[in-house]
Amino acid sequence: MQIEQGWLDAATRLQSANNDPRPDPADISLLVVHNISLPPGQFGGPYIGQLFCNCLDSDEHPYFAEIAHLKVSSHLLIDRLGNIIQFVPFGQRAWHAGVSRFEGRDNCNDFSIGIELEGADNIAYTERQYIVLAEVTKVLCTQYPLITADRIQGHSDIAPGRKTDPGPAFDWGHYRSALI
């Protein structure tokens, strides 16, 4: 697994328009772990990709009517089977963190990479997701050495009170032990 021109070669590309230039492309120094499931608590299907690519049909599910207008993205999605989809090249700013703060700096999208896990706060993640997340993290830390172990955070850590993901079901100890 390697990164070529901002793209992970092991990922399927599904380009999102929801990105823009980073203020300082050399300052990629934070990795943010998220979760997402669409509809909430349900897995599989094309809906996450459709949301990130602005083509989610608001009539497909009642919840989609609430979110179809959002302009959001992440760099990567790791589904329940461990498949990786990349929506935004790492050198660009994906729109995943929203209002956020880390170590006194606001706007974490400016300097972070966002990885979504297909999941929910209180549903266990799959072992394959942990394996793939650890492999991807190692590649990212090699490519972007400002991302260190203490600069890997959950969305809830950078947006406390506003976000809860990756949630209590995410086993940080298991993930971090796989990085060693």
Please identify which residue in the block is written with the tokens 């993205």.
73
pLDDT, average across residues 59-83: 96
Instruction: Report the distance separating Cα 40 and Cα 131, nearest Å.
Output: 24
8-state DSSP, 126: P
Active site residue 116: yes
Q: What is the pTM assigned to this prediction? A: 0.96
Give yes or no for residue 180 having a pLDDT over 90: no
Secondary structure of residue 130 in the 3-state scheme = helix
- Return the CATH superfamily for domain 3-35+70-178: Peptidoglycan recognition protein-like (3.40.80.10)
Instruction: Please identify which of the residues 4, 60, 66, 116 carries the catalytic annotation.
Output: 116
pLDDT, average across residues 131-152: 97
